[in-house]
């Protein structure tokens, strides 16, 4: 199913400066794996070394946070938009 993945501004430089990428996927996991196989440099910014999505990487399907759906197993359908949205964290020593 063709779905659209929205790339956040800080990561567009690793995806040919594209705002979005259309790809075939049945779940969020498939979409992200297809995205990172197409644009390998995205991988280290989205996933930690143990292969899990980084804590400050948030994924929405049509404006709904996948944490409230079935996380990466969330099904997607033709015409759905998957958005990768940063959250920001830090601190002093």
Partner 1 sequence: MLRVGEALIERIHEHGTRDYPNECCGALLGREEGKDRTVLGLVPLANQRNDSPRNRFSITSEDVRLAEKEAAAKGWELIGWYHSHPDSPARPSEFDREHAWPWYSYIIFQVEKGEPREMRSWRLDDDRAKYQEESIEFISSVPRY
Angle (nearest 5°) at CA 57 between 55 and 60: 125
Alpha-carbon gap, residue 29 to 55, rounded angstroms: 16
Beta bridge partners of 22: 4
What character string, x for contact with Zn ion (CB under 5 A) and - otherwise, covers 33-72?
A: ----------------------------------------
Task: Determine if 17 is a binding residue for partner 1 (CB under 8 A).
Answer: no
- Segment near partner 1 (CB under 8 A); pick from 21-29, 30-38, 72-80, 81-89: 81-89
Contact with partner 1 (CB under 8 A): which of 3, 5, 7, 11?
Answer: 11
Contact predicate 11/84, CB 8 Å: yes
Q: Which helix (H) or strand (E) holds 58?
A: strand 57-61
Beta bridge partners of 65: 60
- Segment near partner 1 (CB under 8 A); pick from 16-24, 26-34, 57-65, 74-82: 57-65
Alpha-carbon gap, residue 72 to 91, rounded angstroms: 29
Task: Determine if 93 is a binding residue for partner 1 (CB under 8 A).
Answer: yes
Q: From the CB of 90, what's the least distance to Zn ion, in Å?
A: 4
Binding site for Zn ion (CB under 5 A): 90-91
């Amino acid at each position: 199913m063709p779905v659209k993945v929205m790339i956040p501004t800080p990561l567009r430089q690793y995806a040919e400066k594209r705002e979005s990428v259309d790809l075939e996927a049945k779940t969020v996991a498939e979409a992200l794996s297809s995205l990172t196989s197409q644009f390998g440099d995205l991988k280290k910014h989205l996933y930690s070394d143990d292969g899990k999505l980084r804590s400050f990487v948030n994924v929405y399907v049509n404006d709904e946070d996948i944490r409230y759906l079935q996380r990466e197993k969330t099904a997607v359908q033709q015409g759905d938009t998957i958005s990768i949205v940063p959250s920001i964290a830090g601190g002093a020593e």
